[in-house]
Amino acid sequence: MPHTNQLTEQIRIDIGKMLLAHEMIKLFPELFDYGELKTQINDQWSNLDDEVAVRDFWNLIDSIMMGYGLPDDSLHAPNEKLSLSMFEKGIKTNIEFLKSLG
């Protein structure tokens, strides 16, 4: 089954690797050094079959949904809007969230 191209974008793969390392450290903190674990994940990733592994990998990752709109934005309605200030706050929130992951 073909997957959409965005699943193989480098930024998504890098975030996926980071999330995988972060979750493994949370589960087994005594077993891993974060830097060493990231190196191992990078080394092993190149051995995966992209067509299957990338799709299956993303199916295993829990999604994090963050809404940045206000109740009166009418998302998905004909008159939907998102203020520039909320968009900028969303970008800053995402940056801080990614920093918190390691």
29 and 69 housed in the same domain: no
What pLDDT, in 10s, does the model give residues 12-58? 777 777 877 887 788 778 777 878 888 887 777 766 655 555 556 66
- 31 or 88: which carries more pLDDT confidence? 88
1 pLDDT above the threshold of 50? no
Count of the separate structural domains present in the chain:
2
- Does residue 70 sit in the same domain as residue 34? no
Contacts of 5 (CB under 8 A, 6+ apart): none
Domain that holds residue 83: 65-102
Secondary structure (DSSP) of 56-82: HHHHHSPP-------GGG-TTSTT---
> What was the pLDDT predicted at 90?
86
For 65-74, the pLDDT digits (tens) are 677 788 888 8
* Mean per-residue pLDDT over the chain, rounded: 75
pTM score, whole prediction: 0.42
| Burial category of 21 from C-beta neighbours within 10 Å (exposed 0-12, middle 13-18, buried 19 and up) | buried
